[in-house]
Amino acid sequence: MRIDASLGDITELAVDVVVNAANSSLLGGGGVDGAIHAAAGPGLLEACRELRATRYPDGLPVGHAVATDAFDLPARWVVHTVGPNWRAGERDPAMLASCFLSSLEVAVDLGARTIAFPAVSAGAYGWDLDEVARIATAAVRTWKVGTAQDRRPDGTPNGISHAQFVLHDERALRAFQEALAA
């Protein structure tokens, strides 16, 4: 699996999965969450309302992930994950790593081969950007090691072939590039 980081707008990527740094309500918010909801159109909000009414009446728990269609986005699916909120005392690195690992698991279950992540919890939730970069890249590398040998019956690789961190500014890009180079 190739892993890299780039500067860009996650809502413009033609990948199988874009990961949404959602809040537990799944009903939109600010930052990446708001941008994804705005770009995906009203169908995404309706799909999220349906998830709340059926599977997650109390909201999506921190570190978990769930998929919806991507609607008007160029991606095929949106995988929503709720990062831990540093400002609310949610400071366990394993909770943050779980966001990336559970997103990968959901993506593979969908049959995805490509996935794009934002810097989950580094915005409004207050986690240090460098720490998010270290935890996120380590989590994705762990997934790579654990699944690299998996093959479909026809011999083709099973799972994600390209994971990318898509960052909105140069400082975030540098943090993720440094974490990937370590």
Domain locations in the chain as residue ranges: 2-181
Q: What is the pLDDT of residue 178?
A: 98
Residue 33 is a catalytic residue: yes
User: In Å, what is the CA distance from 99 to each residue of 58, 59, 81, 157?
Assistant: 18, 15, 6, 23
pLDDT at 166 over 80: yes
Closest CA to 31 of 169, 136, 153: 169
Query: Cα separation of 35 and 89, whole Å?
Result: 26
Helix 31-40 / helix 42-54 crossing angle, nearest 10 deg? 110
Q: What is the pLDDT of residue 159?
A: 85
Q: What is the pLDDT of residue 33?
A: 97
Q: What is the pLDDT of residue 114?
A: 97
User: In Å, what is the CA distance from 47 to each residue of 41, 43, 79, 130, 133?
Assistant: 11, 6, 12, 33, 30
Tokens 């033609």 appear where?
Answer: 14
Q: What is the pLDDT of residue 152?
A: 55
Terminal-residue alpha carbon distance, the chain: 17
pLDDT at 127 over 80: yes
Q: Provide the H-helix boundaries in the chain.
A: 31-40, 42-54, 93-110, 129-147, 170-181
Report, as an integer, the average pLDDT of 29-57: 97
Q: Which of 4, 33, 72, 154 is catalytic?
A: 33
pLDDT at 149 over 80: no
Per-chain mean pLDDT for the chain: 93
pLDDT at 160 over 80: yes
pLDDT at 145 over 90: no
Q: Provide the percentage of residues in the chain whose pLDDT is more than 70.
A: 92
Asked: is 2-181 a CATH 3.40.50.300 domain? The reply is no
Q: Tell me the chain's radius of gyration from C-alpha atoms.
A: 15
pTM score, two decimals? 0.94
pLDDT at 45 over 60: yes
Report, as an integer, the average pLDDT of 87-116: 96
Report, as an integer, the average pLDDT of 160-178: 97
